[in-house]
Amino acid sequence: MKINIEIDSDKCHELSDFISVQEQHDNGEIIDYSMSVSDLINSLSASTNQQIGHTSELLPKNTILYRDFEKTKHVFIEVPRMQRKIDYSGFSFVVGFPRCIFQYTVKKYKSNQEKWDIFLDKIVAVKGRAPINMETEICSFPYSHVSTDGNVCMGGNQFPSVKNINEIENFHSIFFSSPFGNDYGASTTLDKNVSTLFGDTFCNKDFDDNVLISQKQNFREFFNIQ
Provide the greatest CA pair distance for the chain.
58
H-helix or E-strand containing 32?
A: strand 30-36
What are the C-alpha distances in Å from 156 to residues 92, 153, 198? Answer: 20, 9, 22
Segment 92-98 shows an average pLDDT of 97
- C-beta separation of 30 from 23 below 8 A: yes
Which pTM was predicted? 0.77
Strand extents, DSSP E, 59-204: 63-68, 72-79, 82-88, 91-97, 99-107, 117-126, 137-140
Segment 177-201 shows an average pLDDT of 91
Query: Among 44-48, 104-108, 114-118, 168-172, which is the least confidently predicted range?
Result: 44-48
Query: How does DSSP classify residue 103?
Result: E
Segment 9-26 shows an average pLDDT of 61
Q: How far apart are alpha carbons 205 and 96 in whole angstroms?
A: 5
Note the pLDDT tens digit of each residue in 31-70: 666 666 655 655 554 443 333 333 356 789 899 999 888 7
pLDDT above 90 as % of the chain:
56
Q: How far apart are alpha carbons 169 and 167 in whole angstroms?
A: 6
Give the CA radius of gyration of the chain.
Answer: 19
Which H, E and C letters describe 179-221, residue by residue?
A: CECCCCCCCECCCCCHHHHHHHHCECCCCCHHHECEEEEEHHH
Q: How far apart are alpha carbons 144 and 126 in whole angstroms?
A: 17
SS percent in the chain: helix, strand, coil, step 5: 15, 35, 45
pLDDT of residue 226: 77
Beta bridge partners of 73: 68, 106
